[in-house]
Chain A
């Protein structure tokens, strides 16, 4: 649900210039950025100070609680699960993999979105018609269902392949948002001026219009990254993700299979859940912050 559909009424633009730097200092944007940054650091620093081999099966004692509970030990500060994997090691290896999925899905879908959105919005005519019908159709199809069919056939899969498959189905949202913005921008004075003064279509698109779309592009990127992670973790939690390396979703899958909830082993599902919640809320705050930058009327406090 994290994909935000941009407010169709958002046509007001900030005057670029001296307010530019101030605008990006949005509190929600910074808070979200810090949360994602923390997870990135967890992946980098964790790898340096913690032995990631402990994420392998039977590398640790079974079913240990976290260190502050009775029976827990500092050797496995976040506890272990029922096949002897260390929870801290699982998080340290799983979190970067999750973020990588988001990065790939975000990049691929935003590139497709820019290509299709600009083509449709700027050129109009039949390319626009085809693109609009395809993206509206793609949006209404439950993507996860199609992804489940694919993954149920392609069982041997690595993180990058999975991310690419997810990305193929994530272009519709960005395309729609970018197309709508290009449509409103196209009729603005400075774009008309550029057209009259004989700039090439390419220059108009990328030198004149693109900078004004930056907040929308950034919001779309973050939105699809978060949506991509949502889909990927969903697949992993159904046991359809990569099998070779531990992912956060797969840890949840094993926790559910091992009835961790009923056995009271909250740290087993709790640790990956907590990381995912931080990631999703972080991305969410970034999107909201970017939305407020793009559409000043949404900023709090305007009476």
Chain B
């Protein structure tokens, strides 16, 4: 506990808010940098899809007033920031009376559950594989087989997802092809529902696990190699400790901590990958909501979802960073 200093805590939390502010500002600026007027572009896209829209000039004007686009830019910016703080993203453009907030609230538990389960499994499995890759007592057969799992790291989550759908869902029929639960079952705490959720979630989670496991394995192997020459290992061996005890209590324990830093740093790309996995699997989380926002040109939904995704991953990184010094007594954030 000693190792977290007030200074570190304040700096880290300040950085969290800086991240959020920066991304919110980027999301605000982009539409203003884009060529053309977004509302006019939206109308022209709508009329391209649904034929001529009568009185489009008036609609554009009404929308500009409705969304406050007639106010000067700084005023718009302040209003936007105010809304962001209260997580108010306005109404969905494509499903008008519904608020973006409500849509996000419905989608986000699916994403968080999928992401957490998949990332934890892949982190643990990958770390284990990485340790075994570097361990001198690993059986020969495993030494040959394990590196193969590394190759999958190179493949994006969603491409693996497509292959898995084709092989296991379409080909063998073991898993459902899309969705998060059987529409015939009532959502609730019933076995049928829970089983259906697991059945539907397996393939999306599997594609994330397989595709990201090797990343952890690689990092872990690197750290294990670094730890390998340390004196305390020689001492442990000289004491005649069981090799497995040395592996888990001495080698892995000392090598695993930098893995947490990698976890914090790569969370952004994992979230990005999950967005596409949900789209491929029609999984009703944030990624799928985002995709629907894209195809219906629903800018308020896109902005709301993107902001929440960024804020959530920033929060997760904050938590990991704050836990880190508690887990590793070697790290202190005091200024020397």
Contact = CB atoms under 8 A, between A and B. Distances in A.
Interface of A: 1-5, 7-10, 133, 136-137, 139-146, 148-150, 152-154, 226-227, 230-231, 233-234, 237-240, 252, 256, 261-262, 264, 266, 269, 273, 276-277, 280-281, 283-285, 288, 295, 297-298, 303
B159 interface: yes
Contacts of A143: 268-269, 272
B155 A295 contact: no
Interface in B295-324: 295, 297, 299, 302-303, 305-306, 309-310, 313-314, 317
Contact of B151 (A7, A226, A273, A281): A281
Given A7-B219, A142-B268, A261-B166, 6 more contacts: A1-B212, A137-B22, A142-B271, A142-B275, A145-B310, A150-B34
B209 to A, nearest CB: 12
18 contacts: A5-B219, A9-B222, A140-B19, A140-B268, A141-B314, A146-B306, A148-B275, A149-B30, A149-B302, A152-B299, A153-B31, A231-B272, A238-B276, A256-B280, A273-B163, A277-B154, A277-B155, A295-B222
B108 interface: no
Interface string B230-253: 000000000000000000000000
Chain B's interface size range is 35 or more
Given A7-B226, A140-B267, A234 B34 contact: no
Interface in B172-225: 177, 211-212, 215, 218-219, 221-223, 225
Majority SS at the chain A contact face:
helix
Contacts of B166: 261, 266, 269
Nearest to A263: B170
A4 B26 CA distance: 26
A303 B229 CA distance: 11
A276 B159 contact: yes
B79 interface: no
Interface stretch (B49-57, B92-100, B258-266): B258-266
A8 B269 contact: no
A294 B309 CA distance: 36
Majority SS at the chain B contact face:
helix
B151 A284 contact: yes
B19 A141 contact: yes
Contact of B314 (A140, A154, A264): A140
A2 to B, nearest CB: 6
Given A9-B226, A280-B156, A137 B272 contact: no
B69 to A, nearest CB: 14
